[in-house]
């Protein structure tokens, strides 16, 4: 008797809970008919949510989906374990573990573990891998790449930024690309049709200065170098060789330069360059140098330069230890095998501007 009563109570409770869920589901389905009013959507994955199959037509003020959610618009807060799919506009905060997609405008803040895609936006997009805007973007921050096809604001990426037709600020670990740069590019390689300020090792633009030069320093290291940049900042990259050494004889360099004074026939430059000599057998010779170089143009395209340098050297081989005879100060480690020193030197050369 007691067992029958217990089973009856359990059955009654299940029926009541099912009825309550049915009422809630029915109410949300009825409310979903009204697309003008923002609402709450809670679910697992479309269409298993409180907005059910009407979710693509609804604009929400709050969305919470364990896996993925779909909506016509979001004007508040949306959180999904995997992805938020918004077919129209989004404002507020869109937070997804993997992917945010906004079909039209994204105007406040999007954060995704992997990628954000949207048509246009004036807000901030942050992604672990990439942000892609098909028209224009506000601020984009990504671990790997930011891509905008038309107009971009500020882009910060670990590897690549492409700013479309117009870009304001691009900062990347490797490359920045834009058609018209109104502001600044900072990266290893910067490319633009027309550029504002480019700060990098290689800077390519139709309106900037480019030159190829040959130089020699106090250690008889001869370098063939490419310099590129604007009126103020430029980058340096080069390869060469050392005529004194028999093993550590393959040379390379990279650095940044600043035009302190730049007139038609005379300029005063300062450069910070890191260089090295290689045998490709494991030995090391690194040199960091600061140069102050007056330069004179003897023709419209040909320029000669020379000036003093202040150098720091770090080497672990015999040729590196012997290449400089007089140091300001020096010290050794590893039983005298590793040498570190500071000394004054010089450089001189000629370069062709094109």
- Could you tell me the pTM of the whole model? 0.83
Torsional sign, CA 330, 333, 336, 338: negative
- The per-residue DSSP string of 334-350 comes to TTTTEEEEEEEEEEEEE
**Mean of the pLDDT values across residues 291-307?**
97
**Lookup: tokens for 8:** 């009856």
User: How far apart, in whole angstroms, are the C-alpha atoms of residue 86 and residue 104?
Assistant: 8
CA angle 337, 328, 348 (to 5 degrees): 100
The rounded radius of gyration (Å) of the Cα atoms in the chain is: 31
Is residue 159 exposed (0-12), middle (13-18) or buried (19+ Cβ within 10 Å)?
middle
Under the banding of pLDDT at 50, 70 and 90, the label for residue 5 is very low
- Check residue 238 and give its pLDDT: 98
- Statement: residue 278 has pLDDT above 70: yes
Under the banding of pLDDT at 50, 70 and 90, the label for residue 182 is confident
Number of H helices, E strands in the chain: 2, 29
Residues 83-124: tens digit of each pLDDT: 999 999 999 999 999 999 999 999 999 999 999 999 998 899
User: How far apart, in whole angstroms, are the C-alpha atoms of residue 156 and residue 165?
Assistant: 17
- Statement: residue 163 has pLDDT above 80: yes
- Check residue 164 and give its pLDDT: 80
- Statement: residue 31 has pLDDT above 60: no
**Lookup: tokens for 212:** 């190829």
CA 243 to chain centre: 39
Is residue 263 exposed (0-12), middle (13-18) or buried (19+ Cβ within 10 Å)?
exposed
Topology classification of domain 209-353: Porin (2.40.160)
The helix or strand, by DSSP H or E, that contains position 24, with its residue range, turns out to be: helix 2-31
**Lookup: tokens for 203:** 């800077």
**Mean of the pLDDT values across residues 28-52?**
70
Give the residue with greater pLDDT, 269 vs 11: 269
Of 33-47, 201-215, 245-259, the least confident: 33-47
Beta bridge partners of 353: 211
Query: Considering only CA atoms, which of 193, 218, 206, 251 is closest in space to residue 346?
Result: 218
Cβ-count burial 300-318 (b if 16+ within 10 Å, e if not): eeebebebebebebebbbe
Percent of the chain having pLDDT more than 70?
Answer: 89
**Lookup: tokens for 94:** 């869109």
User: How far apart, in whole angstroms, are the C-alpha atoms of residue 93 and residue 84?
Assistant: 11
- Check residue 9 and give its pLDDT: 52
Of 26-30, 105-109, 229-233, the least confident: 26-30
Phi-psi region of 135 (alpha: psi -120 to 50; beta: other; left: phi over 0): alpha
C-alpha neighbours within 13 Å on the C-beta side of residue 213: 24
């Amino acid at each position: 008797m007691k067992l029958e009563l217990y089973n009856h109570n359990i059955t009654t409770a299940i029926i009541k809970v099912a009825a309550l869920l049915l009422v809630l589901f029915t109410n949300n389905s009825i409310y979903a008919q009204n697309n003008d009013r923002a609402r709450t959507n809670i679910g697992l994955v479309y269409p298993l949510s409180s907005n059910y199959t009407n979710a693509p037509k609804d604009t929400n003020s709050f969305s919470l989906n364990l896996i993925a959610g779909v909506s016509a618009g979001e004007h508040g807060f949306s959180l999904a374990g995997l992805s938020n799919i918004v077919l129209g506009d989004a404002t507020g905060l869109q937070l997804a573990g993997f992917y945010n997609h906004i079909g039209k405008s994204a105007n406040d803040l999007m954060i995704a573990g992997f990628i954000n895609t949207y048509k246009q936006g004036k807000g901030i997009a942050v992604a672990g891998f990439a942000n892609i805007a098909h028209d224009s973007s506000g601020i984009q921050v990504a671990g790997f790449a930011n891509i905008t096809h038309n107009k971009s604001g500020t882009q910060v990426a670990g590897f690549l930024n492409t700013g479309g037709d117009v870009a304001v600020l691009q900062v990347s670990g490797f490359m920045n690309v834009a058609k018209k740069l109104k502001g600044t590019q900072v990266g290893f390689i910067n490319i633009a049709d027309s550029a504002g300020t480019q700060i990098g090792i290689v800077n390519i633009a139709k309106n900037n200065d480019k030159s190829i030069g040959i130089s020699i320093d106090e250690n008889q290291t001869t370098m063939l170098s490419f310099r590129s940049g604007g009126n103020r900042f430029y980058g340096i990259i080069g390869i060469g060789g050392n005529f004194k050494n028999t093993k550590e004889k393959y040379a390379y360099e990279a650095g940044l330069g600043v035009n302190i004074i730049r007139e038609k026939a005379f300029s005063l430059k300062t450069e910070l360059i890191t260089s090295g000599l290689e045998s490709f057998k494991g030995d090391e010779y690194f040199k960091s140098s600061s140069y102050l170089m007056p330069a004179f143009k003897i023709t419209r395209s040909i320029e000669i330069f020379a000036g003093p340098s202040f150098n720091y050297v770090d080497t672990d081989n015999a040729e590196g230890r012997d290449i400089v005879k007089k140091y300001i100060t020096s010290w050794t480690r590893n039983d005298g095998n590793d040498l570190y020193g500071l000394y004054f030197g010089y450089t001189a050369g000629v370069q062709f501007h094109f």
